[in-house]
Structure 1
Amino acid sequence: GVDQWPLNQHPLASGPFMLENWDYSHALTLARNPRYSGTPAHLDRVMFRIIKEPAARILALEAGELDFVADISPHDAARLEMNPDLEIKSTHGRRFYYLQWNCRNPRLADAGTRRALSLALDRERMMETLLDGYATPAVSPIAQVLWNHADHLAPDPYDPPQARRLLREAGWLPDEADGVLRRDGLPLQLEILTRTGDPVRRDGAVIIRENLQAVGVSVTIRTLELAAGLELVNAGNFDVYFGSMTPNLYGDPSSAIHSDAIDEFNDGFYSNDQVDALLEKALGTLDREEAKPYWFALQEILQADPPAAYLFCPQRLDAVSRRIRNIRPHVLSPVNNLSEWWIAPEDRKYRTGAAP
């Protein structure tokens, strides 16, 4: 098969580095490419070591055996920040966590109720508790790092009094017996569905339940394996889904919010004619500057008539030895400018041309 082709073990190189050695399952070494026509890489060679266990990677970094570890946990980052020999590089990512409302549920069918519930959520507490503060609040399904994100919009604040006012305006009144909100005899009773294996969602669901209960919502949590949970979501058999999403790079959320995207990722059956029209105008406008007003207006509508409560965007965290200079991680890659990394002579561990 293709995976056995010799070329895969000796790939051609047209960039600043070329493959020098590949020790399967252990390490891969790149060397400066002498035939590269652009600016030569500053480093003679770079070794990528394969260490499967995150804890082992961190220990190797602290022992000086590694100079760079990508995508570390917030807990590790908070501890490594105190190490004077190390630096934490944080990069805004595309992924965000959200609560998907099922708009076919009569409890969630109106925008006022969904907007009120979003205002009941303490995003700052979630970011501090779940991610040690290494996150930013989410505003819309268009990530902060993308060109058409509406920077002028503020994230929904934590405002329980306003949430209660909006719920009252939407017709929800507390029951004298148990304090749970009811409208036309229907209790505001919601089940939050989420997946196993993600501590952020496991612990975040507890905070969300507490926030919503504080404004009169009866909340239960249901945790399932990913496949089983998504089967329920795709079938529409859920109230609220606590999920995460990594949007596409070109800033088009149509698959999650257009009324024709029910068979894609519009799992909450959201429908808004203005949203559909703005999506079509924005996507039909090739000039980015001319398209931005449509994208911005779209996100303003999504804040007033939310298909989901957009919660927070985790930062990608990379740990680096201070002896490595000019590391600039990018949203697409932590080693984005690898050819520009350099080490001062007094910080070098190895002779020029010598492998570690």
Structure 2
Amino acid sequence: MVEGGSGDLLDVTAECKDNKVKEIKALDGMTVEVSLCKPDPAFLAKLAFTPFFIQPQEWIEQTGGTGDLLEHPIGTAPYKLESWNRGDSIIFKRFDDYWGDPAKTETLVFRWAAEGAARLLELQSGTVDYIVKLSPDDYDAVESDPNLQFLPVPNPNIMYLAMTNTFEPWGDVRVRKAIAMGIDRQRIIDNFYPDGSEVASHFTPCSIPNGCTGDDWYDFDPEAARALLAEAGYPDGFKTKIFYRDVFRVYLPEPGLVAVELQSQLKDNLGIDAEVVVMESGEFIDESTGGRLDGMYMLGWGADYLHVTNFLDFHFSRSNPQFGDPFPEIYETLEEASTIA
């Protein structure tokens, strides 16, 4: 239910049956009150996430929730959107009526460049002022260049090697545990990740509050891993596949190299023959998150907001088919925890 006409303070209510928010009410021009259907310990962190940006009532009514809301966004920043060339660039112009300090430049341009080497070359040649997603191999080049400034940015994220338990042999916990114990993750960090990266002790990064509470992940122990495989009926290993997409991500800056390294370790440490398979990005995401890849696959997660629920609730909920059949002892605990504020 929505109350209030044009120019009035908005009050939106909804039944709690299929919603998490019971009411959103504008108390005045600068204050909004949100009433939840049940406690949510992550709610304050979620408020800083993009979907909670507050939009002008008249703009929502005009666009009616259509794509215009995304194509022509409304904000409160020192720049305004001039053009959005999909897959190429976004161009902003200074917004002279901005409430704070004015923008330092008349124009701001964000451009896409798929290759890390191409991004660095543009920075070195002065055709751009700033780049992101610098390839780890280029860190030294930037740090040693007196004309450039290296600016590390904290970025809580995790990369994981996954499998779906509705495919064999992944339904056997001994096999999954053997994979976990049979990979030297420190070697991967040392060879393919930038300084500051670390072997994950938990699924959630330690930089997030309570991210590393509870038991640590398994240590590298190939002898124990081989014993588990033998106990599960695979003393000589088995054949499988490693799927990945050849796309740079902060959690996986060298996907092809890491895939080959995993292939090598699985063979040397566990006797497992793994074929490396590269997939188109969209197909890979659709198939992996839908739980339809028969093998292992490399994926990861970066924090949308700084709370452990952002990592845990998505991946291990009862409704996520990604890893196969879910475990009640996991998702029921998460569901209970999600209401304890």
Shorter-chain TM-score above 0.5: yes
- 1:40-87 residue CA offsets vs partner (Å, 9 max, x unmatched): 36x633743344445454334224454322232222333212213323
1:210-238 CA-to-partner distances (Å, cap 9, x unmatched) read 22222333222241433555565436450
Q: Deviations over 1:222-274 (max 9, x none)?
A: 4143355556543645032222344653524234223x32xx3x322143332
Name which of 257, 265, 290 aligns with 1:203.
Answer: 257
C-alpha separation in 1, matches of 2:126 and 2:133: 18
What residue number does 1:218 align with?
Answer: 272
The normalised TM-score by structure 2 is 0.61
Asked whether the equivalents of residues 82 and 91 of structure 2 are also in contact (C-alpha less than 8 Å), the reply is: yes
Match of residue 313, structure 2, among 250, 254, 269: 254
Q: Distance in 1 between matches of 2:165 and 2:98?
A: 58
CA distance in 1, matches of 2:333, 2:261: 34
**TM-score, length-scaled by structure 1:** 0.58
**Residue 79 of structure 1 aligns with which residue?**
141
Separation (CA, whole Å) in 2 of partners of 1:152 and 1:84: 45
1:59 aligns with 2:121: yes
Q: State the partner residue of 1:273.
A: 328
Aligned pairs for 1:43-122 (under 5 A) are 44-45=104-105, 47-53=107-113, 55-122=117-184
Distance 1:23 1:270 in 2: 42
SS at match of 2:204: coil
Q: CA deviation at 1:151?
A: 5.3
| Residue pair 2:202, 2:216 contacting (<8 A) in 1 also | no
* More contact order relative to length (CA 8 Å, sep ≥ 6): 1
Greater shift in the superposed pair: 144-153 or 207-216: 144-153
Matches within 5 A, 1:1-356: 14-15=76-77, 17-19=78-80, 28=91, 31=94, 36=99, 40=101, 44-45=104-105, 47-53=107-113, 55-133=117-195, 135-150=197-212, 154-167=216-229, 170-172=231-233, 174=235, 180=236, 188-198=237-247, 200-226=254-280, 227-229=282-284, 233=288, 234=290, 236=292, 238-246=294-302, 248-249=304-305, 250=307, 251-252=309-310, 253-258=312-317, 260-261=318-319, 264=320, 266-285=321-340, 287=341
Deviations 1:114-150 (A, max 9, x none): 2221121122222333334463333444344544412
CA spacing shift, 1:165–1:87, aligned 2, 3 Å: farther
**1:18·1:30 contact (CA, 8 Å) conserved in 2?**
yes
Alpha-carbon distance in structure 2 between the residues aligned to 1:218 and 1:56: 37
Moved more, 139-148 or 106-115: 139-148
Q: Secondary structure at the match of 2:151?
A: strand
1:12 CA displacement: 7.3
Q: Which secondary structure does the structure 2 equivalent of 1:98 belong to?
A: strand
Give me the CA root mean square deviation. Answer: 3.9
Distance 1:149 1:20 in 2: 37
Give yes or no for contact 1:190–1:217 (8 Å, CA) kept in 2: no
Aligned residues: 262
For structure 1, which segment, 196-205 or 74-83, has the greater mean C-alpha deviation from structure 2 after superposition?
A: 196-205
The answer (yes or no) to whether the contact 1:192–1:242 under 8 Å persists in 2 is no
Question: For residues 255 and 22 of structure 1, do their structure 2 counterparts lie closer, same or farther at Cα, with a shift above 3 Å needed?
Answer: closer
Aligned in 2, Cα 1:257/1:78: closer, same or farther, shift over 3 Å? Answer: same
Distance in 2, matches of 1:155 and 1:138, equals 8
User: 1:274/1:148 Cα in 2 relative to 1: closer, same or farther (>3 Å)?
Assistant: same
1:9-52 Cα shifts (integer Å, max 9, x gaps) = 8x87744x24498798778465485752x5x36x6337433444
